[in-house]
Structure 1
Amino acid sequence: MTEAIRPFTLNIPQADLDDLQRRLAATRWPEPETVGDWRQGSPLAAVQALAAHWQTRYDWRACEARLNALGQFKTIIDGLDIHFLHVRSPHPDAIPLIITHGWPGSVMEFMKIIGPLTDPVAHGGKAEDAFHLVMPSLPGFGFSQKPADAGWGVPRIAMAWITLMQRLGYERWAAQGGDWGSAVTTTIGVINPPACAAIHINMPLIYPGPDDLADLTDMEKGAIASLQYYQEWDSGYSKQQQTRPQTLGYGLVDSPTGQAAWIYEKMWAWTDNKGVPEDVLSMDEMLDNIMLYWLPGTGASSARLYWESFGAFGGSVPLSLPVGVSIYPKEIFRASRRWAEKHMTNIIHWNELAQGGHFAAWEQPAVYVNEIRTCFAKIR
């Protein structure tokens, strides 16, 4: 039966892990950067340290066991086999919540928030704060199937997620996401399926119009400056993935060091750190995430989402569904509430936080959990 929900157990062949070791040992290193910081990309010494940790101290089997213990599943939706985590709360009145990651993230971003959201009583919360969590891997990411044909852009993914929640038997649910997850979640809100009660996003895809630029607040000036910096100095990866993902994929799928450096640089650029990614995320945490790109070889397939949908990533589409927004200070782009209110007519939660960056659940799990609880308390 193609609509069946099938339990999925990870058991990566040891031969694949041995091959990784061989490839890491055979890395052909470039010369070091000509500046003393990250301005030219991931510094040689930092990547060498990460690769050395990967070779000598990192334990994939521990990550594998953790994922298997949570409850992994697959199901075919619209012809594609979708991988997802499904963790039910012990509290029967929990709200079902589908959470979507982005690039270069994965379901590994959510490891720290699963316990507090599904079992709040055990983590200092109340039973009425509980959620059933559904955390899918985007098509072409992690252990979801790679699309063999064009057409798997954001709208199709949003419809697949609606189907997934229906298939799991949830009659009333909510959605959350950041990065591509924000795009997918916003699209779910625009589709406005009857079962979706509300959405919450980390990065609202709202940009100022010409009439918004005349009287900018300090926050809005900072947001525009961040966007300008992104466009001038931080967006080369997106242009490459948007235009030539296949060409990029050969290097990423062949070289673990290349794949790691490609992602590691964004851990530096997009987290709220004091100079290095390790200020916020441990090497093991970053490598757990990198392994969900390396092991299934998704360097090209994950990049292809940019080819499919990057031109429509932002956009000011009317949204009437209840929506919550959390703005973290080191986010790539931070919309102001007055910009958002022109397009979101039913904002039930808006908060601008003091700490955190692009990977909210990963970087600031306690803050993220509080944001989710506070937002969706409005629709319980």
Structure 2
Amino acid sequence: MTTNTEIRPFRIEVSDADLADLRDRLARARWPQHPSGEDWSRGVPTSYLRDLAEYWGTGFDWRAQEAALNEIPQFVTTIDGQDIHFLHVRSARPDATPLVLTHGWPSSFVEFLDVLEPLSADFHLVVPTLPGYGFSTPVADSGWGNLFRVASAWDELMRRLGYDRYAAHGTDAGSGVSLLLPMVAPGRVLGVHLTGTSPAMPFGPPIDTAGLDEADRRRAEHFNHVQQDGLGYLHLQATRPQTLAYSLNDSPVGQLAWIVEKFREWTDPAAELPDDAVSRDRLLTAVSVFWFTGAGASSAHAVYEGMQVYRQMAAAQQDHASAPPAARTGYAVFAGDDTIRSLVDPAGHVEHWSEFDRGGHFPAMEVPDLLSADIKAFFAPPSP
């Protein structure tokens, strides 16, 4: 780890020139035809994206969002040669438990904005941005897609903030980071709460549905369908991130479509459109952070590096599937999730398991009430 342990205050300050450039690019977008009508079977429909892009360019108030974000205490520190951006929201309770919240792809600290207030009643919150995402850019060197390296950096961050012991919550790739924290910091992690976990290897064989109950069978069938029809984005990022990077870095419409498609596919199934699950302004704030920081390209490379490590770890994970977790573990499963308990917890070691009929892959944005309540319930001290 670096010997420079300075923690520096941070403010988001997108230049007028960059804001004008975004609006100009949106106004000059060259739109493709949509040959199959206006459904989502071939990707994001042109009519939907044109309407959203028009709002992004002429109706969305980035300056208001920027000012609101700057009301939250933000900092940067350099760890292992990489600038790490993070939020640090201290609870009014001096004895509050430190809690590190880790996002996944395609996301950033913006994902957790709606849970900051309810969670800060009980926790000191640390919300770091993964290297290559948001304001943890540019990436200083390769290798930050390795989640072991990220987990080690998170533990160093918590040390710098003076937290000897802490709790962790993660979603998507952030779940991987959170699961690794007790391994890289034995004895320091009080517990791990997870959402958005994959039930099986993304490029592996379909899940065998025999013996599953009705709810888990539906999740397995959905996962198997996604294996066949919904992993194009992952194949590209896991194999040719630089080729994709040119489009994401040069076209705001391309970046918008790349993220919006995932919000359509991964959010609550009851939501017809992405902005039925997450408000337009929140969705476009998340996309804007990607655009202004060039994170579409660098996060694609992080996915590429992470998948190389994930493939290597897959066999080892199967060998150790029945081993107790390194720290007490809890899961929250939402309506749009494919998480199956018999696959992620075959030996029954997970002590907290919640299932909800609302929400999806981005519960902190979709159902912050449910997520914050479940995190509080998991980490609550035992009754006397």
| Pair 1:90–1:42, CA change in 2 (3 A) | same
Determine helix, strand or coil for the equivalent of 2:293: coil
The answer to whether the 8 Å contact 1:98/1:133 transfers is yes
Q: Note if 1:341 corresponds to 2:349.
A: no
Corresponding pairs, count: 367
Q: Note if 1:236 corresponds to 2:232.
A: yes
Query: Match for residue 109 of structure 2?
Result: 107
The answer to whether the 8 Å contact 2:193/2:378 transfers is yes
Whole-Å separation in 1 of the counterparts to 2:134 and 2:300: 12
The answer to whether the 8 Å contact 2:168/2:191 transfers is yes
Q: Which runs of 5+ in 2 are unaligned?
A: none
Deviation at 1:283, TM superposition (A): 1.4
Query: Match for residue 137 of structure 2?
Result: 145
The aligned amino acid for 2:168 is A
Q: TM (normalized to structure 1)?
A: 0.91
The answer to whether the 8 Å contact 1:200/1:323 transfers is yes
Determine helix, strand or coil for the equivalent of 1:58: coil
Q: Note if 1:157 corresponds to 2:150.
A: yes
Q: Note if 1:361 corresponds to 2:348.
A: no
Whole-Å separation in 1 of the counterparts to 2:271 and 2:163: 42
The answer to whether the 8 Å contact 2:209/2:220 transfers is no
The answer to whether the 8 Å contact 1:162/1:193 transfers is no
Whole-Å separation in 2 of the counterparts to 1:261 and 1:206: 26
The aligned amino acid for 1:341 is D
Deviates more, 1:191-200 or 1:152-161: 191-200
The answer to whether the 8 Å contact 1:348/1:375 transfers is no
Whole-Å separation in 2 of the counterparts to 1:223 and 1:204: 12
Deviates more, 1:213-222 or 1:259-268: 213-222
Q: Aligned-pair RMSD on alpha carbons?
A: 2.1
The aligned amino acid for 1:329 is A
The aligned amino acid for 1:370 is A
Identical positions, percent? 41
Q: Note if 1:278 corresponds to 2:275.
A: yes
Query: Match for residue 328 of structure 1?
Result: 334
The answer to whether the 8 Å contact 2:137/2:295 transfers is no
Determine helix, strand or coil for the equivalent of 2:30: coil
Whole-Å separation in 1 of the counterparts to 2:134 and 2:5: 21
Deviation at 1:213, TM superposition (A): 5.4
| Pair 1:378–1:339, CA change in 2 (3 A) | farther
Q: How does 1:42-191 map to 2 (within 5 A)?
A: 42-119=44-121, 130-152=122-144, 153-191=146-184
Deviates more, 1:204-213 or 1:233-242: 204-213
Cα displacement string for residues 204-229 of structure 1 (whole angstroms, at most 9, x for unaligned residues):
44439999754222222112211111
Deviation at 1:47, TM superposition (A): 0.5
The answer to whether the 8 Å contact 2:91/2:124 transfers is yes
Determine helix, strand or coil for the equivalent of 2:167: strand
Whole-Å separation in 1 of the counterparts to 2:373 and 2:292: 33
The aligned amino acid for 1:80 is Q
| Pair 1:322–1:59, CA change in 2 (3 A) | same
The answer to whether the 8 Å contact 1:75/1:82 transfers is yes
Query: Match for residue 38 of structure 2?
Result: 36
Whole-Å separation in 2 of the counterparts to 1:143 and 1:343: 40
Deviation at 1:364, TM superposition (A): 0.3
Determine helix, strand or coil for the equivalent of 1:300: helix
Whole-Å separation in 1 of the counterparts to 2:288 and 2:271: 25
Cα displacement string for residues 225-254 of structure 1 (whole angstroms, at most 9, x for unaligned residues):
111111111110011000011110101110
Deviates more, 1:304-313 or 1:320-329: 304-313
The answer to whether the 8 Å contact 2:12/2:70 transfers is yes
1:302 pairs, out of 299, 303, 309, with 299
Cα displacement string for residues 79-98 of structure 1 (whole angstroms, at most 9, x for unaligned residues):
10000011000111111100
| Pair 1:253–1:353, CA change in 2 (3 A) | same
Q: Which runs of 5+ in 1 are unaligned?
A: 120-129
